[in-house]
Structure 1
Amino acid sequence: MPEVITKSQSQILQTSQPKIAVLIVAAGRGSRAGAGLPKQYRTVAGKMILSHTLDAMRTALPNVPIKVVVHRDDLELYHAAAKGFDLLEQALGGATRQESVRDGLAAMAHIAPDYVLVHDAARPFIDRDTIERLVSALERGAMAVLPAIPVTDTLKAVSDEVITRTVKRDGLYSVQTPQAFRFHALLEAHERATGDQYTDDGAVMEANDTQVRIVEGNDNNFKITTAADLTKAEQMLMMRLADIRTGSGYDVHRFEEGDHVWLCGVRLPFTKRLKGHSDADVGLHALTDAILAALAEGDIGQHFPPSDDQWRGSPSDIFLSFAKDRVLAKGGVIAHVAICLICERPKIGPHNIAMRARIAELLQIDIRRVSVQATTTEKLGFTGREEGIAAQATATVRLPFGEN
């Protein structure tokens, strides 16, 4: 069995030495996850998988330097996933995982860490306890340490879909990441291993005649590999977001002379325009207020007062993106939004899909989680007299319990 390490992570990290760094490998293509983006950039529970992984690692190790190795074709996706994180400049990966790790280590050599944790980008469920055990083992003199869990399933050797023998599972473990090493020992081992192919960094150290130890891993720390794994990860992440809140918003803007209106982020040709300090997008204003209401964080006027000239003529995309970012900053997701536009004209139906698509783009959620409806007041009231447009909106957000 893996040795049990009890030394507190806080004891290790509160000292100036040893210096720990993290290398996250995100240069793979992830073809087994099915068609689409590389798996580390797929969205689950409202965020890219890499963003979830960075969140988990930064929570476990708040102050250590983190470098991500990325594919040169994914730089734009990487910057989107890494937005808001304080990270070292990314490194560009090679043709194989082994090359990517070697290149990432070389790019970290200038900070000269004592220890390095090498982690897969597609493992967003790494926990602090596992990292404690890894770092503590290094502190006790180990050169290389892997988190591992014992194999519990019966193992069979198979040839041409026929079982040839049963493999004894005694002493067999499946290993996970992050894998922990003394930095210079791992870098040197990778430099010697040029031309060879190994499936993980522990194997690189083994080939270098280095004793590799194990500590207890975590069953939840699985690697997202297949489409089924994506579904499993979504379910696990959503279970953490059990604080479900709903907010509502309402807004009105009158018409004035013009030749178009902005509604739900879409420019509609019209015989008038909506009057307002910004672009007067009544739909996005109501939705912004609904999201802020779900967070109990005031309304659009408090954050973007009409008395402030810097917002004059601004696109309402800015306001909605601000509200979305407030949800993400709390570790939450936007589960569903709905807008009802109240007007006689312009006709909303022909633009419904474009409006939903634009809102989904701004909120970074699936279009199936966005509803846009329209109704009239049967010629009654100011909307019936075509003096303006009203909008009401609702937003459902999910937050971790304990988040204010």
Structure 2
Amino acid sequence: MSPISQAEKTVCIIPAGGMGSRMGLPLPKQLLPFNGEPLIAHVVRMFKNSVSEIVVAAPRAHMDAFKNALGNSCTLVEGGSTRFESVYNGYQACSLKNGDLVIIHDAARPFLDISTLKEALSLTREKGAVVYGSQAIDTIKEVNSEGVVQRTLDRTRIYQAQTPQIFQAELLKHCYKTVFSSESAKKIELTDEASMAEKCGYSVHIYNSSPENRKITLREDLKLLQKSQQRIGHGYDVHRFDNGRPLVLCGINVPEGPGLLGHSDADVAIHALIDAILGACGMGDIGRHFPDTDPAYRGISSTVLLSRVLEKVHQKAFQLINIDLTIQAQIPKLSPYIEAMTSNLAKHLNLQQDCVNIKATTTEGLGFVGEKQGIAAHSVVLVEKGVLYE
């Protein structure tokens, strides 16, 4: 968006004084990474070319961290004990005159479509007070203190308030003057500036926004701060036959045999799967984690090895999305066991069965497998890296 050309000054106040207590994090959520930079830096940069001045109200205990994150991109002031106080502290740091516009935007709301701002500013010049809001999608019920539904509200008239909230400077000045000069008004807990304008008798107009303009509030919202990092891994393994051992594939005993030679239980399918998972996560291969020279792994069930690998990748914030596994075997016939194999792997991987696909094929008598010397397996997996905060 190009810089505004109007004569008036447009100031953006970003309250960032909260500590993210609902998330239980060791630092304010405004400092969490988003697209390669701190969240607060992203939000400031989002407005940089659209306003005359940006003021950020930051928590006193983390002021140095905010200075490092923001540099000279804005004016920093100390935040208050509430959002309302933080905005007021930012407001006091501004030099405003009649005709100026004041934008107030949450520090933890990084998904604003900034191209909408020009239209919203124009609406504010006409109406005086504007708040972004998205129309309610779900049916809204009003309940009493015992949780009993009293009535169903008309959702076509219900909007969820967002930010930006935008005001003519003289209107906002009058509201603050009214609130702080009235003993009764001081007792009213004001959650935002739009509610203050309402209580002062002003009409506040909705700018119809998108539900995508959401705020990072709860711990489960953290995944929104990181772009999807999906990775693909491929694994391959092969074992020769050993008539003296049982055949185990995907953790399922196949009594027709013959078994496979190996240091562990020689489950060639799970070994290929483990290599695919490790490869997708950039964590080497099965031999690095479970060397065949270590007696601790002699005869061990490969489902145990799989569980240990999953623990390791989860510690690095990777989650398995789906797997595709192909077992190449001329003998024995595996189709009667595919359903049991799928169910067993889904259980161990904590995936829905439709996310675990297992196929068995012959090689039409060709090669090592076709000559009935052993079994091979290929696996492809999709993993996604999420946000991990201790």
TM-score by length of 2: 0.54
Size of the alignment, in residue pairs?
Answer: 234
Letter in 2 for 1:208: C
What residue in structure 1 maps to residue 9 of structure 2?
A: 19
Contact kept, 8 Å, 2:175 with 2:197, in 1: the verdict is: yes
What residue in structure 1 maps to residue 223 of structure 2?
A: 231
What residue in structure 2 maps to residue 29 of structure 1?
A: 19
Letter in 2 for 1:122: A
Partners of 1:47 and 1:184 in 2: CA distance: 35
Equivalent residue for 1:192, pick from 156, 166, 178: 178
Deviation per CA, 1:62-94: give whole Å up to 9, x if none.
x521111112112012112213x522x211122
RMSD: 3.3
Partners of 2:282 and 2:193 in 1: CA distance: 45
Equivalent residue for 1:173, pick from 150, 156, 159: 159
1:170 offset after TM fit, Å?
3.3
- Cα pair distance change 1:93/1:159, threshold 3 Å: same
1:156 offset after TM fit, Å?
2.4
In the TM superposition, 1:43-82 aligns within 5 A as 43-58=33-48, 61=50, 64-82=52-70
SS at match of 1:146: strand
Larger radius of gyration: 2
Deviation per CA, 1:12-53: give whole Å up to 9, x if none.
8123x1221111110112211233212112223432211221
Q: Where in structure 2 are there 5+ consecutive unaligned residues?
A: 181-185, 231-280, 284-314, 318-390
- Cα pair distance change 1:337/1:152, threshold 3 Å: same
Partners of 1:105 and 1:133 in 2: CA distance: 23
What residue in structure 2 maps to residue 134 of structure 1?
A: 120
Partners of 1:337 and 1:187 in 2: CA distance: 56
Contact kept, 8 Å, 2:129 with 2:168, in 1: the verdict is: yes
Contact kept, 8 Å, 2:44 with 2:73, in 1: the verdict is: no
% identity of equivalent residues: 29
Contact kept, 8 Å, 2:162 with 2:214, in 1: the verdict is: yes
Partners of 1:65 and 1:126 in 2: CA distance: 18
State whether structure 2 residue 29 is matched by structure 1 residue 39: yes
Partners of 2:23 and 2:204 in 1: CA distance: 30
SS at match of 1:178: strand
Which ranges of 4 or more aligned residues in structure 1 deviate by more than 3 Å? 110-113, 157-163
Contact kept, 8 Å, 1:133 with 1:216, in 2: the verdict is: no
SS at match of 2:163: coil
1:109 offset after TM fit, Å?
2.5
Q: Where in structure 1 are there 5+ consecutive unaligned residues?
A: 1-8, 243-335, 339-366, 370-404
1:119 offset after TM fit, Å?
0.6
- Cα pair distance change 1:159/1:38, threshold 3 Å: farther
Partners of 1:29 and 1:86 in 2: CA distance: 22
Contact kept, 8 Å, 2:97 with 2:170, in 1: the verdict is: no
Deviation per CA, 1:249-272: give whole Å up to 9, x if none.
xxxxxxxxxxxxxxxxxxxxxxxx
Contact kept, 8 Å, 1:102 with 1:187, in 2: the verdict is: no
TM-score by length of 1: 0.52
What residue in structure 2 maps to residue 308 of structure 1?
A: none
Partners of 2:316 and 2:69 in 1: CA distance: 22
